[in-house]
Every structure is written in C-alpha cells, then in structure tokens.
Amino acid sequence: MFQRFYPDEWVDSAYTIPFGKYFNNGYRGILFDIDNTLVHHGAPATKEAEELFKRLREIGFLTCLISNNDKKRVDLFTENINTESIFKAGKPKIKGYVDAMAKIGCDRTNTLFVGDQLFTDVWGARRAGIYSILVKPLHPKEEIQIVLKRYLEKIVLSEYKKYVKKKG
C-alpha cells in the first residue's frame, strides 16, 4: 500500500550524495526540490548550494529545479546558480517533472530526482518514472501543511525501513 511513496534511496543530505557514481551509471540530469532539500525554507542559495551546482556542471550533469513555489521564490534561489527551473510545478503531478526533463534534454531513463517530501517530491518522481532520492529535511521549521504531512511520512518511512531491511 505504501510502496508507491517509497523512494529508491533515502540519504541524509543532498550534499552527501555521490553524484559521480550516478554519472558513471549513465544518469545525465538531476531535478531538485529547493526548500528543505537544498536550503532552509525560503532562503536564498548558500555558498554550499552554489558549490554543489558548480561541481555538478563539472561532472557533466544538467540540472533543473522543480518547485511548487512561485517565480519570485525560485528566482531568489537561482540568482547565483546557473540552472534551469520550473516554478508552480504542481508536484506530485507528472507534468512538472516531464517539463523539467524536456528543459534539460533528458528523459526518465537518465534523470534523478532529489527532494525532502514523500507525498509531493518522491511520489511525483515515481509517478513520472524517475529514480528518486529522498533527503532528510534541513530544518524543522516548516509551513503548517508540511508539518502535518510529516506525521504521515513517519508512518510510511517506518514501513520503508522494514521493506529495505527485508529486501536486503
């Protein structure tokens, strides 16, 4: 029942993902959520985020941000980061993911998605057929609707841990 929400992987941080490994395995595009995935909710890009995108370009990745936020929020983050973006993406609807892949010239077979929420980020990526990596939220301060979803996520993630342990 919960498996449709399971990520392909669950890691501590977007900043610790071994992206070179994925490039060597044929991945060429990465779609990222912004808030609580790359920076605290509503924050501009940090030096750490700027360095990450610089490193990804050096590896050879094409990147695109996919956010449910408005253009102003996404533009605040991308000010010093050279990346494509989709705002008001409507996650977990598939269209935003498909549009993001088209924007960077990638497809379901060679694109990764990185985000912090199961019911928008991961579920949407799974529905779009994209390999998904769930990261732990960077900061506990979130909007109330997200806080409420986090309680449900705990239940799903508890089952996910059992599933991973049994699987492997």
Closest to 125 measured CA to CA, from 149, 98, 163: 98
Which residue did the predictor score with more confidence, 142 or 76? 76
Q: Is 90 exceeded by the pLDDT of residue 24? A: yes
Which residues have CB under 8 Å from 118's CB, separation 6+?
A: 5, 7, 134, 149, 153, 156, 157
Structural domain boundaries of the chain? 3-167
Does the domain made of 3-167 have the CATH classification 3.40.50.1000?
yes
Residues 84-96, mean pLDDT to the nearest whole number: 97
Q: Exposed/middle/buried for 79, CB within 10 Å: 0-12, 13-18, 19+? A: exposed
pLDDT, tens digit, 9 for 90 and up, residues 39-64: 998 899 999 999 999 999 999 999 99
Are 66 and 45 spatial neighbours (Cβ–Cβ below 8 Å)? Answer: no
pTM of the model: 0.90
Give 97's pLDDT tier (boundaries 50, 70, 90). Answer: very high
User: Which backbone phi and psi does 149 adopt, to 5 degrees?
Assistant: -65, -30
- pLDDT value at residue 140: 63
State percent of the chain over pLDDT 90: 75
Half-sphere exposure of 153 (CA within 13 A, CB side): 20
Q: Which amino acid is at 68?
A: N
pLDDT, tens digit, 9 for 90 and up, residues 100-158: 999 999 999 999 999 999 999 999 999 999 999 999 988 766 666 666 677 788 888 88
